[in-house]
Each structure stands twice: as structure tokens, then as C-alpha cells.
Amino acid sequence: MIPGFAVSVLTPDGSEQTIDIPDIATLIVGRDPSCHVVLPSPAVSRIHLRVERGSDGLRIVDQSANGTILGDELVLGGAEMTLPLDGEIRVGPYVLRITRLSTVAEDVGPTPELRRRIHRSLLDHLDLSSLGDADMGADVLRPRVLRALEQIVSQLEPELPATADKERLVLEMADEALGLGPLQELLEDDTVSEIMVVDPNTIYVERHGRIRLTPLRFTDDESCRAAIERIVTPLGRRIDESTPLVDARLEDGSRVNAIIPPLATRGPCITIRRFARRPLQMDELVALGSLS
């Protein structure tokens, strides 16, 4: 189990965002979209710096053209420095505070291959497409799918990790077969303001202005793409190889952006920006400093 990093980013406009990035030994910061922390500024190099865990703290290795500022010291490309506790570094117009995450929960779920086997077994038990064509209501269809999955998971129990949550697995597979997979529970969570599927195995959420990597994941690219199609098709939109990008708005006003290969190189990805169901009241706007 590898602890990760917590990164607080102060942007040029004065806003602050905190990102938790678990399960990595080295943190990469830069302008390139492949970096763990992306800082979109011409003053930031594509790969600006990397952060490594050392026995005496965090070690910053600058790899930029413009350098990194720690305190009053400018560190140029290739040089290393130790980041003191609660220390700040300046990268272009951004100020970063980087700390270590103490613990990260282990992934004890079934492997993607085992999840695919469960899904194939479900298709053998139930013809989901014909059930849907029969206009069977969700109140009838979902219980049938859940019962079938309970039998399948019970049969495969010897192959599951000892600490696997079988009830949760059944619910996750049902959501993937009938709904939006791991997005289902996130969309039902009013505290989630943004959902970011970077690839089928990497899903971030924003809660109260704080971005966190979730343990949720899709079984594979196909299940992620199926969820995207379930979102955009009722909106009268389509997404395929000839139209690999779609922007849409859900009935509740949430904005959706989805991209699939060949435009998305790491697999299907989707971003859902949600809006608060309850508008802020006057006293809340005053407390937040929006009004005085």
C-alpha cells in the first residue's frame, strides 16, 4: 500500500483547490494533461517538477525551464530541494502546498476479469435487451437482476478476495448492467458537485471544493462507454467514432462532457458538473463573502 499526496493549489485569481492523490510514490506537476497536478499556464513547463517521498520529508526535483521557488530560493532545472513541513512552493503563477497522505485504503474488490465473468454470467441468466424491449418496469427488472447476481456471486465466492463486500459487488454490477455503473451512486449523492472520469479505472469527485480520487471504477472501457451512451441517448445526442465528443445538459441542469477514442487516448472519459439542488440563501451568501 503506497500513501499518496495532498496538494493545495492557490490559483492566480485567489481561489484555492485541494486535491488528494493516493496510491502514488512520485507526484508529477506540470502543464501537460498527463500530470497528476495540471497547472495550465505558459509559465509552467510541460513536466515542471516531481515530488518524491524521502526519509526527511518531501523531496522536490525541478525539471522546468523557469525554475521553482521555495521561500526566497529559485531552484532551476535538475536541482533538488527538501520541502519543509507546511512549506510552500511557487510554480509559475501558482502556489502549492504539498503534504503526504497518511493512509490509503487497499483495493480489495474483484479483478476486472472476474467482474467481466460476472457480467457474462448475468447475460447468460437474463436477456437484458429483451427484458428492456418488453417495457418491464425498473421495479420488476431490478429485483430479477439482483437475484441473478446474488446467485452468481455466491457461486464465485471462492474466487473473491477474502475481504470483498459481496453485497456491494452485487449492487455495483446491477448498476453497471441497468444504470450508469459507479456513476449511479455519485449522481445520487447531493454532496458531489463534479464527477470526473479520467479513464475507466480513475474517477475523481469534488465535494465542498475538495477533489478526491474515489475507489470506484468501471469494469472496462465497454462498460464506461455504455454508461456514456445511456446518458446522452435520451438527450437526443449520439457519440461514436465519427463523433467522439459530446456536450450536453441533463434535465437537472448538470453539464456533461464525454469523449471516447480515438479522441480520448486513455479510454472513454466523462465530466459531469452538477448544480446545487437548493439555492444559497442570503445569509449563506453573506457568510461566504459573496455579499456584504
For the domain spanning 182-273, the CATH number is: 3.30.450.370
**Residue 136 banded pLDDT, cuts 50, 70, 90:** low
Could you say which of 2.60.40.10, 3.40.50.700, 2.60.200.20, 3.90.190.20 is the CATH number of the domain covering 4-101? 2.60.200.20
In the chain, how long is the greatest CA-to-CA distance? Answer: 70
**Residue 280 banded pLDDT, cuts 50, 70, 90:** low
* Percentage of the chain modeled with pLDDT above 90: 19
CB within 8 Å of 282: residues ≥ 6 apart: 291
pLDDT tens per residue, range 185-229: 888 888 888 999 988 888 888 887 778 888 888 988 988 998 898
Query: Mean pLDDT over residues 252-267, rounded?
Result: 88
pLDDT tens per residue, range 38-78: 999 999 999 999 998 765 578 888 999 888 988 778 887 77
DSSP per-residue codes, 192-209: EEEEEEEETTEEEEEETT
- Centre a 10 Å sphere on the Cβ of residue 25 and count the other Cβ atoms it contains: 11
Joined together, the cell numbers standing for residue 115 give 467482474
Model confidence at 261: pLDDT above 70: yes
pTM of whole model > 0.85? Answer: no
- Centre a 10 Å sphere on the Cβ of residue 259 and count the other Cβ atoms it contains: 21
**Residue 253 banded pLDDT, cuts 50, 70, 90:** confident
Domain ranges of the chain: 4-101, 112-178, 182-273
Task: Please answer whether residues 153 and 167 qualify as being in contact, where contact means their C-beta atoms are separated by less than 8 angstroms.
Answer: no
* Helix spans in 98-254 (H): 112-125, 128-133, 138-155, 166-178, 183-187, 221-232
